[in-house]
Each structure stands twice: as structure tokens, then as C-alpha cells.
Structure 1
Amino acid sequence: MSGAAPNRRERNGVVQPDATSQEIYDGGMVVRREVLGAAHVDRANANKDGFTEDFQDMITRIAWGGIWTRPGISRQMRSAVTITAMVAHGHWEELAMHIRAALTNGLSRDEIKEILLQTAIYCGVPSANTAFKTAQQVFHEMDNAAGPPN
């Protein structure tokens, strides 16, 4: 057992006092690709224009580089929190994306079901109803894309 305090990089992810904006962006892009998949990130980047470029840069640096790189909680926990936030605010397209991400991050369909059951109590049954339909559609799309088992 080590009594040494964690260094700043361990406590803060890529956001360090001496980190450049490019280092934060690059670290965020690595995690964004790992969590959402390269195809999704490539589509988002291909669709950016002068109007959306600053927004894409901001979410890569702040959300993915500033928050998702932090080691304080697991990616599974981050996915659970994010799913709950999407349900609470009714962001259904983002919920679908983060359900896929949660599976990538190691949550099972049963764990996602439990998260959605929890949201029924704290976010409301109508929101959870839509969330279950959204998850069901995501699972159906994933199952169909996988094709029949060999």
C-alpha cells in the first residue's frame, strides 16, 4: 500500500496546469473515439462547418478532454450518469448514442435496464417509457446490424 498522493495527471486526467489546448483536445479525441466509435466521430467531424466547428471543438476539449479523461470514476459510471441526464432532460437522440457508448464502455443490457428503471423513479415514468423505447430500438438496430449468428 502506497501512502504517496496521486500526481496531478492521475487526479485530473489530461487537464493539467501546463497542458496545451492541443494536448487537451487530443486527449479528448482519443477518449471520444474510444467511447463513441471512430465512425461516429468521423461523421461528426465531416459534417462540421463554420457554424458548428467551434461547438465540436468545445465538446472535444471540455466534455471529452476535461471530464471523460478524469480517473475519478469508471467509464461505466460516467455512462450511467450520462444516460440518466439524457433521460432527465429528454435528449432522446443523445440517449441512443450514449446507450451505444455504455455498451462499448462495458455496461450490459441488463445494467442499462436497471439504470432506466431507476430513472422511472427519479426522472418520471413518461421519460423512462421513452427511454426504454429508445434503448429497445438501439438494441434492435445493433442486433440486426450484427446479422444472424454463425
Structure 2
Amino acid sequence: MSIPKPTRSRLSNDDVRAVSPALANYTRDTIVADLWKRPGLSLRDRSAVTLAALIARAQTIGMQHYFNLALDNALKPAEVAEIITHLAFYSGWSNAFFAVEIVKVIFAERGIGAEHLPQEPVQLLPLDEAAEDKRATAVQANFGGVSQGVVDYTRDVLFRDLWLRPDLAPRDRSLITVSALVASGHVAQITYHLNRAMDNGLTQTEASEVLAHLAFYTGWPCVFSAMPVFRDVFTSRTK
């Protein structure tokens, strides 16, 4: 039996135009014809940023289209699986499960099976012991008296396991983490993770373009709330 052609979206441009011609025009002329063609981020990165925003905000109506587009834009199935896994920790398990429900169908339509996905157990990447000890010591000192459970899980599960999984590069993990934080309005966490992202290879040009991209997918208020934090990180790194 032949594999059916993957479906792309529940809403066509004509559907949007029937309700709001202006919204249809902005979608066509600004998002499709301009935003996605800007040079500051690759198509692959724009897809990763968009997926992070959709998962963080549990916006399932866009997932069918954008997960398909992400695979077309060279994100590997294993990377898509890791994006969902990673964001379960940064956006919540239920948000990740919303994505699982949709991507399960997409993988089936595309003939993507277990052989294309990370095989458990994985061989973790090397740990920077000195940097992790410094981070863990600071978190323990600040928050051990508040919730030792959170401190322990942060050390053992997030930074000594999740962040070391090999099927999504550290730079890409940082990219989707920062994107999810902006999308969720969690500005207090951005300073650490944006610095980590840039240490992991994300350039200032790329980070700036993440904000431009997210303005359309999370709304201007989320981005303007994050911009002072980005500015301060950029300034501190140029001193």
C-alpha cells in the first residue's frame, strides 16, 4: 500500500481569507514571502524556533503544518523527537503530549519508524564537569532550602542527562530553550540560557533574528518583554 501524501494544515489561505482578508494578506506577504526568507536564520532554525513556540504555548492548530515543514526543512525525525522530549521539561509534559499526538500521525504518513528515532539507551555526550559543578553549586546554595527535589532533578535529569543526549546538538537545544522561554514570557530564565546558547555557538545575529521571528508566532508583547534581557546579554558579552 502506498504511503498517503502528508497533510499540511487544517486551514487553507482561502479559509483565512473568508474570515479576515487582511490576515490572509499578512500571512502571505509578510510571513511566507518575507519573514521566512530573511537571511538571519536558516530555514531549519526557523522551523526549530517555530516548533518551540507552538509547543510552549500548546498551539496545536499550527503543529500539523509546521512539523511537516520542519521535516521538509532538514530537521531529522530524531531531532524532532528530541525537540519534543526536551520541551517536555521546559514547557510541561502535557504540552509535549499535544505534539506527540500530532507528530505520531505525521511520522506514520511519512513512513518514519522506530529505526529513524533515538534508540534507548543513548550514549550521552561528555559533561563539562567544572562548568556543571559551578552551576549546580550555585543552584544548591540559592534554592536547596526551597526545594531540594527541584535542585536534585535539575542536576541529575536536566543537566547530567537531558542536555547531554546526542541526537540534538547543544546549540539547537539552547535555541529551542530560549525560544520557548520567550514564547512563555519566562524572562527571568533567559539570561542564563541565552548566554549558554551563545556559548554553544548561537551568534548574536541569529539570536536577534529569533526575536524577529517570534514576534509573529508569540506576539509583540512577549518579544518586547524579552528584548531588554537580550540587550543586556549582548552588552555584557561585548565588554
- The normalised TM-score by structure 2 is 0.45
How far apart, CA to CA, are the structure 2 residues paired with 1:32 and 1:120? Answer: 37
Gapped regions of structure 1 (runs ≥ 5): 15-26, 145-150
Deviation, structure 1 residue 62: 2.0
How far apart, CA to CA, are the structure 2 residues paired with 1:74 and 1:54? Answer: 27
Larger radius of gyration: 2
How far apart, CA to CA, are the structure 1 residues paired with 2:206 and 2:143? Answer: 34
Any conservation in 2 of the 1:88–1:123 contact (CA below 8 Å)? yes
Of the three residues 195, 213, 216, the one matched with 1:100 is: 195
How far apart, CA to CA, are the structure 1 residues paired with 2:232 and 2:222? Answer: 15
Deviation, structure 1 residue 38: 5.5
Q: Check if 1:67 corresponds to 2:167.
A: no
How far apart, CA to CA, are the structure 1 residues paired with 2:130 and 2:224? Answer: 29
How far apart, CA to CA, are the structure 2 residues paired with 1:113 and 1:59? Answer: 28
**Which residue of the partner structure matches residue 84 of structure 1?**
179
Deviation, structure 1 residue 33: 5.8
How far apart, CA to CA, are the structure 1 residues paired with 2:130 and 2:151? Answer: 13
> Which amino acid in structure 2 is aligned with residue 68 of structure 1?
W
**How many pairs were matched up?**
124
**Which residue of the partner structure matches residue 117 of structure 1?**
212
Any conservation in 2 of the 1:45–1:56 contact (CA below 8 Å)? yes
Partner secondary structure for residue 71 of structure 1: coil
Of the three residues 226, 230, 234, the one matched with 1:131 is: 226
**Which residue of the partner structure matches residue 6 of structure 2?**
none
Partner secondary structure for residue 231 of structure 2: helix
Pair 1:129–1:51, CA change in 2 (3 A): closer
Gapped regions of structure 2 (runs ≥ 5): 1-115
Partner secondary structure for residue 12 of structure 1: coil
Could you say what the CA RMSD is over the residues aligned between the two structures, in angstroms? 3.0
Any conservation in 1 of the 2:144–2:151 contact (CA below 8 Å)? no
**Percent identity, aligned pairs only?**
24
Partner secondary structure for residue 68 of structure 1: helix
How far apart, CA to CA, are the structure 2 residues paired with 1:32 and 1:55? Answer: 20
Moved over 6 A (4+): none
Any conservation in 1 of the 2:179–2:214 contact (CA below 8 Å)? yes
How far apart, CA to CA, are the structure 1 residues paired with 2:160 and 2:184? Answer: 23
How far apart, CA to CA, are the structure 2 residues paired with 1:32 and 1:125? Answer: 39
**Which residue of the partner structure matches residue 148 of structure 2?**
53
Pair 1:138–1:43, CA change in 2 (3 A): same
How far apart, CA to CA, are the structure 2 residues paired with 1:63 and 1:98? Answer: 13
**Which residue of the partner structure matches residue 80 of structure 2?**
none
Pair 1:31–1:85, CA change in 2 (3 A): farther
Partner secondary structure for residue 160 of structure 2: helix
